[in-house]
């Protein structure tokens, strides 16, 4: 019985660490997507201004 408790303790500890890491990866992906969209929007505004001034 003692071995089972030790095993479950270790398993749950690693499972919790895995869940935390996965959550951090998901958050980082959403932050990266948001930053990329902002940069693309800013670059789109710059190119539109260049095209307007060139005409």
Can you give the pLDDT at residue 43? 86
Residue 51 lies in a domain: yes
Question: Does residue 12 lie in a domain region?
Answer: no
CA 31/CA 39 separation, integer angstroms? 12
**Residue at 2 is within a domain:** no
In a domain, 24, yes or no: yes
- pTM (2 d.p.): 0.71
Q: Does the residue 32 lie in any domain? A: yes
- Residue 26: the pLDDT is 98
CA-CA distance, 6 to 44, in Å (whole number)? 57
* Model confidence pLDDT, tens digit, residues 1-55: 999 999 999 999 999 999 999 999 999 999 999 999 999 998 887 666 666 666 5
What's residue 23's pLDDT? 98
């Amino acid at each position: 019985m003692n071995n089972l408790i030790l095993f479950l303790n270790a398993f749950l500890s690693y499972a919790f660490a895995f869940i935390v890491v996965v959550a951090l990866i998901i958050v980082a992906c959403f932050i990266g997507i948001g930053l990329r969209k902002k940069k693309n929007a800013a670059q789109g505004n710059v190119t539109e201004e260049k095209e307007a001034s060139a005409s």
